[in-house]
Amino acid sequence: MTELTELTIHEAYALLKKGELSSVDLTQAYLDRIDVLDGRLHAYLAVTSDETLEQARRADERRAKGEDDPLLGIPVAYKDVLCTQGVETTCGSKILAGYKPPYTATAIDKMEARGAVMLGKTNMDEFAMGSSTENSGYGVTRNPWDTERVPGGSSGGSAAAVAAQMATAALGSDTGGSIRQPASLCGVVGLKPSYGRVSRYGLVAYASSLDQIGPFSRSVADAAVLLGAIAGHDPQDSTSVDMPVPDYIAALTSDLKGVKVGVPKEYFIEGIDPAVERIVRAAIDQLKELGATVQEVSLPHTDMALPVYYLIAPAEASANLARFDGIRYGPREQGDTLWDTYCQTREAGFGPEVKRRIMLGTYALSAGYYDAYYLKAQKVRTLIKQDFDAAFEDVDVIACPASPTTAFRIGEKVDDPLQMYLSDVFTLALNLAGNCGISVPCGFDDDNLPVGLQLVGPAFGEERILRAAHAYEQATEWHKRVPVLSG
Amino acid sequence: MTLSLEQVTHIAELARLALTDEEKERFRDQLSAILDYAARLQEIDTSAIPPMANVLPVDTVMRDDVARLGLPPEQILANSPDQEDNMFRVPVILE
């Protein structure tokens, strides 16, 4: 029999429904595995063991009373940027050490209403700023495929937990690629919903015009279920859009007849790992075999996405992170004056990358530089969105790599911020344009490191990308490979 | 170098960060490199392009003015590093 921790949501659901498995047993299997493996991988910042098992017991009771839901009793993990009432939420930052939120994020409330069981909170780059999880204030997470390598970031803990079977699924957040890039580097499915699809209430803000919460899973069908659970309007987030949530499972098909796939020529550029290019191009050929038509498209301002992102996101971050001052919560470094208290608390509490982005954003918004940097970036952002709008007049879905490389070595890029920023060169533009995107496993390089195919849809086109990703996944075996791990 | 040490010091003050001298030098170099990279935006003519702050139309949302319970004070204060009489205690602002 398959190990319990290998089961997808759909596989576990089938057993739970038939009464052949209890949530308590399934949950305990995950807690045992976390106990064995997480000392080495460090995907979790906190495991909520007792409360976890209590939730599993309640889920079994609900099922015994006749409740039926694919998520009822499924053990999942949440990125530590999502507020959980009474459970420490640090965002990977020392400045929030010990912080226990007085309320829970809407996305998690919705998961809990469906009966999902929380295993714990996952590691991340501090305040979701980074592409390797090395910027966590609490130590790096290791990639389950090669523990000398990074899991990607910023949702590296969520990606590694799902890849290493330390959670059936997880939630993360994606501001410039923080779901899709770690999903690609860890060989799991990761979906960034369209801006406005999922409520951001209780998601600690990094860049509010770009942030979205989305799922990690070991199958596309699981991602469809999770998205259906967390999507929808929330009066607590005025940017969550009031439009119906479709039945994402109903959108899944095994063929792609009639689907038009665009391949952006600007995404196959110098600097891309040749193995990644070869593997992603082979995956695109597979889409053709499934009945899709494939054509080249152009997104002319692609090379501007990185500079636009690294002005807009830090500018928003510098404003959002102004609230962390040691007055109402978090550790305080008491200075002689209030001013000193602010400056010393922030100096001690924030790590290098967060300070770098606060500095960059403060500069881009400061008197005399606002027009040249921030306003200019907002204008080019308009052009980037127009590129996608034009492309989606011709095609249904855009296919490209999720990351220019496979997982890189721990420490390889920490001293060169610009090189690190280039890790997100294929994912940033979507956030700027508000589109949705998914990374689905599409092969392995010569070092047995996973590669992700990114499928991009227009805003609120999640059914299209889920359909394409599911058909591809069903026609291939990549998602069935698992990393070999021992305690 | 796009940024001077004086500018870095000024930005750090605006950002309320008590940076060390070593951090100031490192950020001068790193932020200058990032800003030099961002200079490529100036190649694009955006004179006729409107800026975009958000992909969605940002409207003010109105709701009925109905009284509802907020969080109790003890819950709000639970995370505070220093408190007294149901208030946050802060260092002296005015001598």
Spatial distance between the Cα atoms of A227 and A221, rounded to a whole number of angstroms: 10
φ and ψ at residue A119, rounded to 5 degrees: -80, -35
**What pLDDT does B92 receive?**
79
What distance lies between CA A132 and its chain's CA centroid? 12
**What pLDDT does A212 receive?**
98
Q: Determine the average pLDDT of the residues in A395-421.
A: 94
**What pLDDT does B60 receive?**
79
Lowest-pLDDT range, A1-15, A123-137, A297-311, A467-481? A1-15
Residue B29 maps to which CATH number?
1.10.20.60
Strand partners, A438: A191, A455
Does residue B87 form part of some domain? no
Spatial distance between the Cα atoms of B19 and B12, rounded to a whole number of angstroms: 7
**What pLDDT does B62 receive?**
83
Q: How far from A422 is each of A38, A348, A362, B31, B37, CA to CA, in Å? A: 29, 28, 22, 15, 12
Alpha-carbon torsion (B27, B29, B35, B38), positive or negative: negative
User: Which of 21-50 (B) contact A at CB < 8 A?
Assistant: 23, 27, 30-31, 33-35, 37-38, 40-42, 44, 46, 49-50
User: Tokens 């949705």 label which residue?
Assistant: A436
**Does A307 contact chain B (CB < 8 Å)?**
yes
What confidence category does residue A259 fall into, taking pLDDT thresholds of 50, 70 and 90? very high
Three-class secondary structure of residue A361 per DSSP: helix
**What pLDDT does B95 receive?**
67
The secondary element (H helix, E strand) that includes residue A376 is helix A376-394
Does residue B64 form part of some domain? no
Pick from B53, B58, B80: CB nearest A328: B80
- Give B47: exposed, middle or buried? Use CB within 10 Å, 0-12, 13-18, 19+: exposed
Contact between A197 and A233 (Cβ < 8 Å): no
User: Tokens 């957040």 label which residue?
Assistant: A173
Q: Does position A185 have pLDDT exceeding 60, yes or no?
A: yes
Q: Does position A448 have pLDDT exceeding 60, yes or no?
A: yes
- Considering chain A, what is the average pLDDT of its residues? 96
What confidence category does residue A386 fall into, taking pLDDT thresholds of 50, 70 and 90? very high
Q: Does position B93 have pLDDT exceeding 90, yes or no?
A: no
Three-class secondary structure of residue A95 per DSSP: helix
How close is the nearest chain A Cα to the Cα of B67, in Å? 16
Q: Determine the average pLDDT of the residues in A421-449.
A: 96
Q: Does position A283 have pLDDT exceeding 60, yes or no?
A: yes
Q: Determine the average pLDDT of the residues in A108-137.
A: 98
Spatial distance between the Cα atoms of A201 and A173, rounded to a whole number of angstroms: 12
**Does A380 contact chain B (CB < 8 Å)?**
yes
Q: What percent of chain A has pLDDT over 90?
A: 95
Q: Determine the average pLDDT of the residues in A356-363.
A: 98
Contact between A403 and A423 (Cβ < 8 Å): yes
User: Tokens 């069903």 label which residue?
Assistant: A474
Q: What percent of chain A has pLDDT over 70?
A: 99
Q: Does position A486 have pLDDT exceeding 80, yes or no?
A: no
Q: Does position A1 have pLDDT exceeding 60, yes or no?
A: no
Q: Determine the average pLDDT of the residues in A206-219.
A: 98
Spatial distance between the Cα atoms of A164 and A162, rounded to a whole number of angstroms: 6
Would the CB atoms of B41 and A377 count as touching at under 8 Å? yes
- What's the one-letter identity of residue A403? S
Most confident segment among A55-59, A417-421, B91-95: A55-59
**What pLDDT does A45 receive?**
98
**What pLDDT does B57 receive?**
82
CATH fold group of domain A4-259+463-480: Amidase signature (AS) enzymes (3.90.1300)
Contact between A318 and A357 (Cβ < 8 Å): yes
Select from A201, A47, A218 the least CA-distant residue to A109.
A201
Closest residue on chain B to A355 (Cα): B17
Q: Please give the residue range of the domain that contains residue B34.
A: 5-43
Q: Determine the average pLDDT of the residues in A469-487.
A: 92
Contact between A437 and A304 (Cβ < 8 Å): no
Number of structural domains found in chain B: 1
**What pLDDT does A475 receive?**
97
Closest residue on chain A to B52 (Cα): A378
Pick from B17, B51, B88: CB nearest A346: B17
Q: Does position B58 have pLDDT exceeding 80, yes or no?
A: no
What confidence category does residue A487 fall into, taking pLDDT thresholds of 50, 70 and 90? low
Does residue B50 form part of some domain? no
The secondary element (H helix, E strand) that includes residue A397 is strand A397-401
Q: Determine the average pLDDT of the residues in A410-418.
A: 91
Q: Is the preceding omega at residue A154 within 30 degrees of 0, hence cis? A: yes
Mutate to test the interface with A, among B24, B41, B69, B92 (most CBs of A within 10 A): B41
Domain boundary assignment for chain A: 4-259+463-480
Residues of A annotated as catalytic (active site), given as ranges: 79, 154, 178
Size of interface A-B (CB pairs under 8 A): 160
Select from A331, A323, A306 the least CA-distant residue to A358.
A323
